[in-house]
Chains A and B, each alone.
Chain A
């Protein structure tokens, strides 16, 4: 089983965390003028936020990968698909609580777990994988609650509250790298090719 990527979206439709593994088509840094948040993805750090398309493509070729879409665009498209399919599933079933759970194409499978607080956990894996909703739920219950929700330094939801700046960054932080209490869950991810869950950033 290969895992390609993990996206976490908050209830304001913003991507607050992104991590990829084994992708042969990697998203590029956001274009100049695109929305750019800190602490969303590991590779954010190095970039200056203005992807030099030519150089990026060259670098991608050397690594045997193909340059993908700019990250901001990619994140929007992923959310767009999620939203469209969720609405379609609701409409088809005629019930409001019907959850869209996964879709599959010839080369990847998209898994969705939505928390009651409307965080969307999305994982992309190879097409033959079984449902990964359990893993996504474990990520939420374990590392996400421990290192994001219970971390007072993470601005995990300030948007729309009075007297506060709209959040301008993701939820990524140093603490998640530790493997202590939720080690089991993180190992689960690592075994399947992932290198960490809610992990790393220098801040």
Chain B
């Protein structure tokens, strides 16, 4: 696998941490606001660009629009929105929950278990964020328990 996710992830304080690295994970809420993002891996020249929080918001908005349009232009009667987006050097895997929350994983193109990672992230989200009485919906995620679990998931994925 092209990603070696040796992570540090010190993202407790601010809800949004730019992805510095080749493989990363971020999630959106129903409205295009970014609730959290994680990055890992030693930086490499062909990695993911460092973007500002604002640029991520713009991207989240774009993705929401594209997600809606891709199901409209389908050549067959029923289609979901976009699930994976591939470029020459990386791919994005998008998992949308029934409640409309999108989890997006950015990884190298040869990452085959992206879907299952996102499923685990969703579980972590349900356990550590949704069950957290101090969390307000549609706000940046700021929960230590969630970070611990995310770190574990990302670390396991990189192996």
B and A form one assembly = yes
Which residues of chain A have a CB within 8 Å of any CB of chain B?
4-5, 20, 23-25, 66, 69, 74, 77-78, 80-81, 84-85, 87-89, 91-95, 98-108, 110, 124
Q: How many whole Å from B69's CB to the nearest CB in chain A?
A: 5
List the 10 closest A-B pairs by CB distance, nearest first. A94-B49, A4-B75, A106-B80, A107-B79, A89-B87, A23-B75, A102-B86, A103-B85, A66-B77, A104-B84
With A84-B62, A93-B90: A25-B77 Cβ-Cβ less than 8 Å: yes
Is the beta-carbon distance between A81 and B70 smaller than 8 angstroms?
yes
- Residue interface bits B78-122, CB-to-A below 8 A is 1, else 0: 111111111111101000000000000010000000000000000
User: Is B51 at the interface (CB under 8 A from chain A)?
Assistant: yes
Judged by DSSP, the binding face of A is mixed
Q: How many whole Å from B77's CB to the nearest CB in chain A?
A: 5
CA distance A158 to B41 in the complex (A): 49
Is the beta-carbon distance between B82 and A103 smaller than 8 angstroms?
yes
Interface size of B as a range: 35 or more
Among residues of A, the one whose C-beta sits closest to the C-beta of B87 is: A89
Is the beta-carbon distance between B76 and A84 smaller than 8 angstroms?
no
With contacts A95-B46, A100-B86 known, what are 17 further pairs, Cβ within 8 A? A5-B75, A20-B75, A77-B72, A87-B62, A91-B55, A91-B59, A93-B90, A94-B49, A98-B89, A100-B85, A101-B87, A101-B88, A102-B86, A103-B86, A104-B83, A107-B78, A108-B75
